[in-house]
Structures are given as structure tokens and as C-alpha cells.
Amino acid sequence: MAVVMAVAFSALGQTAGTQTSYHSLDAATFAMLVEDSMVVVVDVRSPQKYAEGHLAKAINIPIDGQLEQIVQSSIDISKTLAVYCNRGRSSKLAASRLAAIGYSVIELDGGFLEWQRYVNDK
């Protein structure tokens, strides 16, 4: 899967760990990349929304809290962060903030609602 990540980041025009921005991905591409062991899936929705349903392996770090501090203290900078929210707006903000502190970040365009559509259409 590391090869998939390298190819994906190469195709996106970035090298993992050196980007200063993030990439929004469709659900199919996001699904493929989150399987990599170097990717940490971060749900930035509220704990209540997270409890209602979330992606497998996702950890909940709400955007309205100390997002950067929690991520920096608990997730190695060598990991790629795969962030999502409910519709995609908050995850874009979170992705931008996390990329600004040095993380490689991908973001699920359309959020959890798009993920549910993708899963249901499979």
C-alpha cells in the first residue's frame, strides 16, 4: 500500500511530508488510501456525530477543540492524515490547518455524507 500512497501523492504533485496544502479526494480514492498503515483517519465532527457513525479506524478529534495540539501530541508527523467531517466544509478547514503545521493531509470531498453514498452505491 505504501506504493499506492507514493503513486497517489506523485499523481497529486506532492511528496508526502513536504506539502503545505492538502488534497480533496473523491470517496473511491479516499477509500483506497485510508487502507495504508501510514494513514491516520481523523473525524473532525462532534463526538455526538462520531457516535452516530464513522469510518472504520477513524479517531475523533473535533475541529472546535484544540485540533492542532491534539494531533501534534498524539500522531507522528510522518503519518498522512485523512480528514473528514459531515459535508466537507469543516474538514477542508481542518486539512488546511493541519497542513500548515507540516502534516501531509488528504480530505474527503463531500464528507461523511459522500462516503455513505459511495458505500451504498458499491
- H helix or E strand, kind and range, residue 112: helix 111-121
Find the CATH number of the domain harbouring 24: 3.40.250.10
Measuring CA to CA, how many Å separate 7 from each of 18, 57, 89? 15, 23, 27
d(CA 60, CA 23): 20
- pLDDT at residue 86 in the model: 98
**pTM higher than 0.75:** yes
- pLDDT at residue 67 in the model: 97
Dihedral sign from CA coordinates of 13, 15, 16, 18: negative
Instruction: Give the catalytic positions in this structure.
Output: 85
For 46-107, the three-class secondary structure string (H helix, E strand, C coil) is CHHHHHHCCCCCCEECCCCCCHHHHHHHHCCCCCEEEEECCCCHHHHHHHHHHHHCCCEEEE
For the chain, what is the domain count? 1
- pLDDT at residue 13 in the model: 45
pLDDT in tens, 3-15: 445 545 544 444 4
Query: Whose CA is closest to 105, among 47, 32, 3, 30?
Result: 30
pLDDT in tens, 35-48: 999 999 999 999 99
Domain that residue 79 falls in: 2-121
Residue that has been written with the C-alpha cell 472504520 in this structure: 56
